[in-house]
Amino acid sequence: MRRLLRRKALTIIAAIVSFTAILAGGIVATATPAQASIRICLASANGCIGAPTINFGDAVTLEVDGRQINEQGQHFICCGGLHVFRFQFDADHAKCVGMPDGNLNATVRACSGGNNSNVNWAEEPQGDGSIKWFSNTKNGFLSSDNVQGHQLFVGSNGCNGCFQRWNN
């Protein structure tokens, strides 16, 4: 009788160890790698996308070093085949670069709002290797006047005094 109980106990222990190993293996297999953050800077000028503070509604400005940004692919295209991204602040993943309703100045917006928060940007590669970022909801390009500390904005294609080409 003792032998039988020992065998059952060993079988149960072996089953528990195997089940635990399967669970641990499954967890490791589903882990996702950390996303690398970058600085998005003007191609032909000095300055990067930044913000002195990143509270909702704060201005997104041109800064010497800028902020670390995660370019989040949205897995859809718009505007004639352009891939769509969100610019998520690495310091707070709930916050993105976007535009408030009724305004063309860039502010810190909720990433979860998508087109409703005007945080989606379509990537338009340029012949020189730079990128123009198009806002479909605002019908214009992410722009700067190339003055440190000034708020970024959406401008029409090639607007006078606008810097619209960015490097990642």
Q: What are the sequence ranges of the domains in the chain?
A: 1-31, 41-167
Tell me which CATH code domain 41-167 carries. 2.80.10.50
* Residues 6 or more apart in contact with residue 19 via CB below 8 angstroms: none
Question: What are the distances in angstroms from CA 98 to CA 14, 57, 117?
Answer: 55, 9, 7
* CA of residue 122 relative to chain centroid, distance: 12
CA-wise closest residue to 100 among 62, 138, 65: 138
Which helix (H) or strand (E) segment holds residue 1: the answer is none
Q: pTM score, two decimals? A: 0.78
Lowest mean pLDDT among 33-42, 46-55, 150-159: 33-42
pLDDT of the residue at 29: 33
101 CB neighbour count, 10 Å cutoff: 9
| pLDDT tens-digit series, residues 65-108 | 999 999 999 999 999 999 999 999 999 999 999 999 999 999 99
Residue 156 has pLDDT above 50, yes or no: yes
pLDDT of the residue at 112: 94
